Amino acid sequence: MPLGSLNGAAGRKGPMPPMSSPLADLIARLAPDRPVLIAGPTASGKSALALRIAAAGGGVIVNADALQVFDGWRILTARPGAADLAAAPHRLYGHVPFDAPYSTGDWLREVAPLLRGGARPVIVGGTGLYFTALTEGLAEIPPTPPAIRRAADALPLDRLLAELDPETRAGLDRRNRARVQRAWEVARATGHPILHWQRRTPPALLPLANATALVLEADRDWLNDRISRRFDQMLAQGALDEARAMLDRWSPAHLSSRAIGAAELVAHLRGEMTLEEARAAAITGSRQYAKRQRTWFRARMRDWQVIPVSSTG
């Protein structure tokens, strides 16, 4: 079931395409007072679905993407454009300074008031950890001192992994530096492995039983094509100018610098690679990220309703 044109990088252009009957029926059955959760890999049409749900039954669209919270990289993080912002209220997009720290706990604290009344929240994004923390609870781990974070930033991934306890190491995606580094920082800062804190997790802010939870499942070839076309759209709409504006403030230590394509475009502007090389590397990185997202969703969202998406429906 097609969900819509490529949107987010520069805003949706024109009216959204018609919905397939199953999708229209699903939206029509949604309770107007029940929170909706929409997860899915990058470029799969999550934002288009959120807009349709808000248009049909009202609601405020709430960001659940760890990079779209930051300012400075509007195009490369595919934040909603002007047309989408005008179509429905949006919250937690681009409100955090590009050089500021921001954690899953910060996100939960900002989401909490949006669940206590008012417009129905339609929470949409691709950061699986945000959804897991929201529906299963999040361990209250003491903050990491800046000196320990700087030390972690300077260590290679294999060193971080080697210094973790075997149980923690066995449960991590060893290619996901952010998760590995977080576990290392917690152990170094608190003297306890991250699993010690996770086992003391408080109740969930929004138990899964109290929400309608949808996860988009995209055909790989279809999604890969959309990823390529969306990055080209980002370039056409000014992603290189965005990178140029951030060049003097660029630091790979900033969480916002993990926006896919940011490092590649900065490298191009510094003369370290051609634009075509930067484009190819960014598209490859985005496809790899989508693969990691799909793996997370399959493992951690088995009780969510799967919505297949493709070009043919």
DSSP state at residue 246: H
pLDDT of residue 313: 37
pLDDT of residue 16: 46
| Residue 96 to residue 177: CA distance in whole angstroms | 22
Residue with tokens 């660029």: 250
Burial of 158 (0-12, 13-18, 19+ CB in 10 A): exposed
**H-assigned helices in the chain:** 21-29, 46-57, 82-87, 104-111, 128-136, 146-153, 157-162, 166-170, 177-190, 194-198, 220-236, 239-246, 262-269, 275-300
Buried b (16+ CB within 10 A) or exposed e, 14-48: eebeebeeebeebbeebeeeebbbbbbbbbbbbbb
Tell whether the torsion through CA atoms of 181, 185, 191 and 194 is positive or negative: negative
Residue with tokens 């989508």: 290
pLDDT of residue 256: 96
pLDDT of residue 20: 64
Do 211 and 218 touch, CB atoms closer than 8 A?
no
What is the Cα 253 distance to its own chain's centre?
A: 18
> Residue 5: phi, psi to the nearest 5?
-75, 170
**Tens of pLDDT, residues 85-112:** 999 999 999 999 999 999 999 999 999 9
What is the set of domains in the chain, with CATH numbers? 1-138+202-313 (3.40.50.300), 146-198 (no CATH)
Do 213 and 37 touch, CB atoms closer than 8 A?
yes
* DSSP letters for 194-206: HHHHHTTPPPPSS
Is the pTM higher than 0.75? The answer reads yes
Three-state SS annotation for 88-103: CCEECCCCECCCCCCC
| Residue 229 to residue 311: CA distance in whole angstroms | 14
pLDDT of residue 143: 86
Per-residue pLDDT of the chain (313 residues; tens, 9 = 90+): 445 444 444 444 344 445 567 788 899 999 989 999 999 999 999 999 999 999 999 999 999 999 999 999 999 999 999 999 999 999 999 999 999 999 999 999 999 999 998 899 999 999 999 999 999 999 888 889 999 999 999 999 999 999 999 999 999 988 889 899 999 999 999 999 999 998 888 899 999 999 999 999 999 999 999 999 999 999 999 999 999 999 999 999 999 999 999 999 999 999 999 999 999 999 999 999 999 999 999 999 999 999 998 753 3
| Residue 89 to residue 20: CA distance in whole angstroms | 25
**H-assigned helices in 30-98:** 46-57, 82-87
Nearest to 168 by CA among 156, 178, 183, 190: 183
| Residue 161 to residue 158: CA distance in whole angstroms | 5
pLDDT of residue 14: 40
Between vectors from CA 241 to CA 240 and to CA 242, what angle results, nearest 5°? Answer: 90
Question: Between the CA atoms of 156, 159, 164 and 167, what dihedral angle is there, to the nearest 10 degrees?
Answer: 90
